[in-house]
Amino acid sequence: MRIRTHANPFHYYQREERLDLTAIFPTFSGTLDVECGFGTGGFMQHYMAGHPDRFMLGFEIRQPAVALLQERIPDEMKSRVYLHNGTAEIGIEDMLPDQSIDRVFVFHPDPWFKKSHHKRRLIKPAFLKMLTQKIKPGGRLYVSTDVEDLWVYMRQSLDASPLHEIEDPDFWRDYYLTPWQQFSVRDSRNSYRGVFELS
């Protein structure tokens, strides 16, 4: 089995330029979703195929994953999907205006098990504070993991944020299909997931 260490998001420090959404999405409808850490992009392709009216900005710190997905995205989807090689934290904060995001997806973020590495976790109070400025009122955050300790940590951060939990069973049934989630099911791991809305 190939073991890989996680890429440290703190190695990325370069600030980003503000995006002109109408320039990157020529037919932009104003409905913007964001996926943080899309990996091989299985979820993004499936979700966007089912939502022809939505636009997606994806962040991923592994450059080869970005290049691979860029190649794989079907042509008809290319004008609605924009991929960025960099951290979701810096990208969302710098590239997007306040109250611009409809949905944020964070599926199976790196767990960073050691306590001294918890600051590298994506879902944490500082990230949620920034995110709640960038999400529209009524916007949502979809989160999943198979690591109980990480789920407890993320829940504590979410419970202390202005986001509140809602149900969206149709989403999990119809669209939640990520490579890591499929591996997790095959490996009989636990599944923790939730949807959190900004009122």
Ligand X SMILES: C[S@@+](CC[C@H](N)C(=O)[O-])C[C@H]1O[C@@H](n2cnc3c(N)ncnc32)[C@H](O)[C@@H]1O
- The answer to whether the beta carbons of residues 63 and 91 sit under 8 Å apart is no
**Residue of 110, 159, 170, 187 with catalytic role:** 110
44 vs 63: CA distance, rounded Å: 17
Those residues whose C-beta lies under 8 Å from the C-beta of residue 147, and which sit 6 or more positions away, are 111, 113, 192
Considering only residues 125-164, where is the footprint of ligand X by CB under 6 A? Answer: none
Give yes or no for a contact between 42 and 171, defined as CB atoms under 8 angstroms apart: no
Binds ligand X by CB under 6 A, chosen from 110, 140, 161, 176: 110
Size of the site for ligand X (CB under 6 A): 23
- 3-class DSSP assignment, residue 66: helix
Least distance to ligand X from the beta carbon of 88, Å? 4
Q: For the CB of residue 27, give the shortest distance to ligand X in the complex, in Å.
A: 26
Q: Two tokens at 188? A: 């009989």
Number of helices (H), then strands (E), in the chain: 8, 7
Site string for ligand X, 58-77 (x = CB under 6 A): -xxxx--x------------
Which residue number, 29 or 114, has a Cβ lying nearer to ligand X? 114
Q: What are phi and psi of 105, to 5 degrees?
A: -115, 125
Q: Which is nearer to ligand X, 35 or 198 (CB)?
A: 35
Give the span between the Cα atoms of 58 and 82, in whole angstroms: 6
| Shortest CB 63 distance to ligand X, Å | 10
Q: Tell me if residue 110 is catalytic.
A: yes
Assess 33 for contact with ligand X (CB under 6 A).
no
Site for ligand X in 84-103 (CB under 6 A): 87-89
**CB nearer ligand X, residue 61 or residue 96:** 61
Say how far apart CA 107 and CA 127 lie, in whole Å. 15
Where do contacts with ligand X occur on this chain (CB under 6 A)?
Answer: 7, 9, 36-39, 59-62, 65, 87-89, 107-110, 122, 178-181
Annotated active-site positions, please? 110
